[in-house]
Structure 1
């Protein structure tokens, strides 16, 4: 639902009734992941997607039926699988299987009271998690819980308070990691008892990309970072180069010494496990003090531009500065994947590809003839970021 928050927030503001179909589980090769949503209002207007086109027509009709039904907003779960054996069957041609939860969201439904503020928060780019019951004991289906950035929660799943507290804690863990997933907890809030399956959708501000070095390659990387959904900052100590005119697509252009700016961002908690740091300066007086700090921060990616000779010289200076081999092993240098890139745009593409591969657990190898998975499980996370009862939300083909 939060996948299409801007449109659904507007519908709520306009008082429209609608039904929303959300992917709650995926196995095999499928085009969309848990949290992907399609919504249909009372006039038949549709927004969003659950499959990239394979089953949209059938899901659209399920939404229309949910809106026309006199039943309460408990919703139904439908499974769509591979359809190649029957040319007239509705299914996924890619061979995967998806489970879709279809729920009406009317003005007088309890879900609306919880979903509306969640949609408003997500629409403005804020932080919130919406936990919805996919299946569980009678009376719980369709119930929802909103978990705020400060850990408070509103709404109820319809069980004891212990269930709401346990669900809020699990949702908070996913929110910290910036993930959407399906999980199971006991109906009494423990690991035992009748299971309750929850879909937890998370809205978090976009991940940050900080590009150090206001060079022509940086301008291309800014565009690539924005395309990937990052909030992009360009930082350089030279005011003649670090200008908004040279980087119109950047969210911020900062004139400061790179290591000093990074220190300030770290001290105010503005960096997290999704942050990407790209060092394009390839000048030792900037690189070494910057990388000393960057490689000791719990960020997602640290890459540095330069030739292999520059890289070896940089490593030597960092070792002289007291950095250990485990810290240096985090450095992606020379930056990017081997695409044979030459232009700034091609280089930006190689850097963006490496960032995606690292985030998704990809190898960077060609898919043709490799026999490797097309879709990967989430890579290993820092301790404490993995919800205790999380189910496998997708299985690579």
Structure 2
């Protein structure tokens, strides 16, 4: 929902009713990940996408129906072999989609969530996708019935909304949801959460449990591009296209100008290693560092620090000879072989790239492959799944994104 938050905020501010359809579960191959969203307002205007076109028409109608009825629904979409043109995913996967009507001012959690997401404030939005039957917001004898679609917006120091307003029986469950969602927000995770009605964690969904989909919205991941060269302009452009907040840094003011790098969110004039030292509290496992200086005065002090930081990717430009000489200098500076193994150098995949734009595609391809665990082979050369995110802790150890309670990434 983060990619359509600005439009939702505009609708919300104008008092316009809308319905939001969110992908809350994926099985098999599917074009979009959990958290993808589509919204339809009362006038029929649509923003966002949940399937790249496969089921958009059907979801649009569900949103219209939800606006008319005021009811939250959970729908599954899959491929039908018997009816080739049936509403479904031609890729063979299954999507679970939660459709919820939104009336501005009527739901404190969604009201706060939309505003916080649009403002760039970290927030976890926890929504009930399975549990006791009934309508969201109604209560049963224990105060837990009818929770489908109920939501709580959780920040680092508070929360907005309630699972079942005024129902004392829902208090233990709500406290557990807030605590678990806050932990997921702290880790930058998006995924499912299954709890018993008393708030205790459960291994699987079953009778007497509530399943929630928790979306953690955190600021855009950062791409730091060091070296104000022509390749940097192309890398900054493709980095922004991929959704990164891009910074270009160089110690030479004549080259590091906003005019030369219009696609960068910021251009910094400073020694690369000194600037990196000033950013330690703003770096995380999603951060990408592209060192394009290929000048030992700049890149050796920078890489000596970068390769010891818990960032997602560090790549450096240069010839193979430059790489060998640079590695020798880094060993002399005290880096271990394990730390040196984290360096992607020469940066990028072997695409035969020559121009800055082609080189930027090569760099971006390596970043995506590293993040997702891609084999860098033509898709037609294999028979396995097209989407194969690396499990947490495997390979390079980067966090990954999925509906299977895995963390968000680069």
Per-residue CA deviation, residues 260-288 of structure 1 (Å, 9 max, x unaligned), is 1111111xx11111111111111112111
The answer (yes or no) to whether the contact 1:219–1:246 under 8 Å persists in 2 is yes
The answer (yes or no) to whether the contact 1:26–1:393 under 8 Å persists in 2 is no
CA–CA distance in 2 between the matches of 1:48 and 1:245? 32
* Paired position in structure 2 for 1:87: 84
* Aligned CA distance change for structure 1 residues 88 and 275 (closer, same or farther; 3 Å): closer
CA–CA distance in 2 between the matches of 1:67 and 1:344? 49
The answer to whether residue 153 in structure 2 is matched with residue 153 in structure 1 is no
1:201-212 map, 5 Å: 201-212=215-226
TM-score by length of structure 1 reads 0.91
Bigger RCO of structures 1 and 2 (CA < 8 A, at least 6 apart): 1
- Structure 1: 5+ residue stretches without partners: none
Cα drift, residue 386 of structure 1: 9.3
1:100-139 map, 5 Å: 100-107=97-104, 109=106, 112-137=107-132, 138-139=145-146
Per-residue CA deviation, residues 118-148 of structure 1 (Å, 9 max, x unaligned), is 1112123332111111111322212111111
The answer to whether residue 168 in structure 2 is matched with residue 162 in structure 1 is no
Cα drift, residue 200 of structure 1: 1.2
CA–CA distance in 1 between the matches of 2:349 and 2:95? 32
* Paired position in structure 2 for 1:354: 366
The answer (yes or no) to whether the contact 1:3–1:35 under 8 Å persists in 2 is no
CA–CA distance in 2 between the matches of 1:300 and 1:323? 18
Per-residue CA deviation, residues 140-159 of structure 1 (Å, 9 max, x unaligned), is 212111111x2422222236
CA–CA distance in 1 between the matches of 2:181 and 2:43? 34
CA–CA distance in 1 between the matches of 2:291 and 2:322? 13
* Paired position in structure 1 for 2:323: 311
Cα drift, residue 181 of structure 1: 2.0
1:35-46 map, 5 Å: 35-46=35-46
CA–CA distance in 2 between the matches of 1:157 and 1:8? 22
Cα drift, residue 177 of structure 1: 3.9
Give structure 1 regions of 4+ aligned residues with deviation exceeding 4 angstroms.
381-387
* Aligned CA distance change for structure 1 residues 309 and 324 (closer, same or farther; 3 Å): same
The answer (yes or no) to whether the contact 2:108–2:160 under 8 Å persists in 1 is no
CA–CA distance in 1 between the matches of 2:284 and 2:260? 27
CA RMSD in angstroms, aligned pairs only: 2.3
Q: Which moved more, 1:174-183 or 1:2-11?
A: 174-183
2:294 to 282, 307, 332: 282
CA–CA distance in 2 between the matches of 1:116 and 1:325? 50
- Structure 2: 5+ residue stretches without partners: 133-144
* Aligned CA distance change for structure 1 residues 116 and 362 (closer, same or farther; 3 Å): same
CA–CA distance in 1 between the matches of 2:180 and 2:336? 35
* Aligned CA distance change for structure 1 residues 170 and 364 (closer, same or farther; 3 Å): farther
* Aligned CA distance change for structure 1 residues 134 and 265 (closer, same or farther; 3 Å): same
Cα drift, residue 392 of structure 1: 5.8
Secondary structure at 1:233's aligned position in 2? strand
CA–CA distance in 1 between the matches of 2:337 and 2:180? 35
